[in-house]
């Protein structure tokens, strides 16, 4: 099934010059970018974005982290995009993430794990609606599309 997922290069990923690296990995997999922008997430939006983690011991640090500098917000589309991106990203704790995954290659600490990807189709819809307006989502056909599916 063709899905859309929300991906974000977190402030450490931007500061460490990983925007191109991350976009490149998603492109190479065959996923299609549908939206992309730099953004400084306001605190109230960060709290809505991470509402499921409110009350956890890392919550305050997480809100500080995600609002500490600009991020790159993206929507990527493709066959099974939600799961495909999660597997490209790797485990939440980069110290446990497999080599070859983005976190496994580029990070070491869960509090600075470089990238976010939606964990389900419903989370993806919620996150896309929170960070993007409909007019920012591009509908287009890419010339490689016939080489990426049967």
Question: Known catalytic residues?
Answer: 116
Determine the Cα–Cα distance for residues 69 and 12; give it in Å rounded to an integer.
8
Q: Which is nearer to ligand IDP, 109 or 142 (CB)?
A: 109
Q: Min. distance of Cβ 139 from ligand IDP in angstroms?
A: 28
Choose the one of Mg ion, ligand IDP, none that binds residue 116, judging by a C-beta under 5 to 8 angstroms depending on kind.
ligand IDP
- Which tokens in the block code for residue 122? 């419903």
Within residues 96-125, the interface with Mg ion by CB under 5 A covers: 119
At 9, give phi and psi (nearest 5°).
-80, 115
Q: Which is nearer to Mg ion, 29 or 126 (CB)?
A: 126
Please give the DSSP secondary-structure letter assigned to residue 107: -
Determine the Cα–Cα distance for residues 133 and 78; give it in Å rounded to an integer.
20
**Residue whose token pair is 């287009």:** 140
- Which tokens in the block code for residue 34? 């549908």
Choose the one of ligand IDP, Mg ion, none that binds residue 142, judging by a C-beta under 5 to 8 angstroms depending on kind.
none
Q: Which is nearer to ligand IDP, 31 or 85 (CB)?
A: 85
């Amino acid at each position: 099934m063709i899905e859309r997922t929300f991906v974000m290069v977190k402030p450490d990923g931007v500061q460490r010059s990983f925007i191109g690296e991350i976009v490149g990995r998603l492109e190479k997999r065959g996923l299609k970018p549908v939206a992309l922008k730099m953004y400084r997430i306001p605190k109230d939006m960060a709290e809505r974005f991470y509402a499921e983690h409110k009350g956890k011991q890392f919550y305050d640090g997480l809100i500080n982290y995600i609002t500490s500098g600009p991020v790159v917000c993206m929507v990527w589309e493709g066959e099974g995009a939600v799961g495909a991106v999660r597997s490209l990203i790797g485990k939440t704790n980069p110290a446990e993430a497999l080599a070859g995954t983005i976190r496994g290659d580029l990070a070491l600490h869960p509090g600075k794990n470089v990238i976010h990807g939606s964990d389900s189709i419903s989370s993806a819809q919620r996150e896309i609606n929170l960070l993007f307006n409909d007019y920012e989502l591009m509908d287009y056909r890419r010339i490689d599309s016939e080489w990426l599916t049967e």
